[in-house]
Structure 1
Amino acid sequence: MIDYRNCVKVKDGVVTREPVPEFLTNSQIPIDQIADLTWLNIPEFAGYGWWPVVNQWPELGKYQSYDGEEVLTIDAANTVVISTIAVRDWTAAEIKSYKMAQNRRITPTALRYRFTDDEKVGFELAMLDDPTSPAGRQAAATMRALQKDLFVGGQADLNSPALQARVQQLETLGAIAAGRAEEIIWGEIEPREVP
């Protein structure tokens, strides 16, 4: 069976996506013979034909999509039309939207390992109680409460607004550097992190 669906019309150097006429497909004429229809001796078909398309679209990487319209280029030497298309990287907002639609549950241990050793040491120091300082006691109690909220339980859902708010609170309190909350919440999930 000849596949005419992968052919495009070529006339006077212009390519258009038009289906092969039914009278040609019904006749099962070989594709190499429909590339130039002058042999039909039909005036309205003089000077054009249908050429096979060779798809040269690049493979998409993670967080990429095709951008714009395909570009059809005549390769006269091989009597084919080359189809290409641009690729664009997703925006940060598109990546977040995609991730929000995924199951992003990890173990509490995996969440803990998303923090650096220095950050974890900082947590421990910040949780030390200072009975002489009411403000210090309050800050230490806040850190202990955050630790329990983040690292207790069977799973940590990175899509949870509550978990995201607690990680962001660590950044606001200065327990982690600016930008780290974003990295911790939206970093790629490794297979070993999944419960």
Structure 2
Amino acid sequence: MTIAEFTLAILLLLCTPGPTNTLMALAGYERGITKALPLIGAEIAGYLTVILPVATLAAPIFDQWPMLSLWMKLVAGAWVFVMALRLWSIKASSEKDHHVSGRAVYITTCLNPKALIIGLVIMPHGSLGLLAPHLALFAALVLTAACGWITLGATLGGRQEVFFGPILISRMASVGLLAFALILTGTSLGALI
């Protein structure tokens, strides 16, 4: 895969709505751009926590036992469902309350199926030295995409209209996460049956 193909594939995945992107947009809404930017470190760490071992060690294991990959997707779907429930239950609060934590972004990103797809399909497999240039480019692309999602959320948060209140935004994010969890667990359960 060329660098251009790698970049395009990563950007397509990172720009697709999903659990991590939903949380980043919600963080931008809650905190504004500047205060949400530190969460990008948690997102990058979450992706690397999965991608590094998968691309360097686990790819042959997943090839040999594809059921393991399905079970990991079920666990990821369950986590996304829990996040959806938490977002739905958010009550009206003060402007200082932040419901999206670095821990939530990290765990959600670790369980995000995009990390497995990147580690198994897009990222080259081999030693850390071989992966280093791709990992640096990947981190820059995550930074770019996350800034976009944070900016989208902050833009909605900056609107003075009552329509875009915190409860509505968190409920919309919850519905998005719930849909993603249902699709993920549905396809995984379908493959298991």
Say which structure is richer in helix.
Answer: 2
Say which structure is richer in strand.
Answer: 1
TM-score by length of 2: 0.25
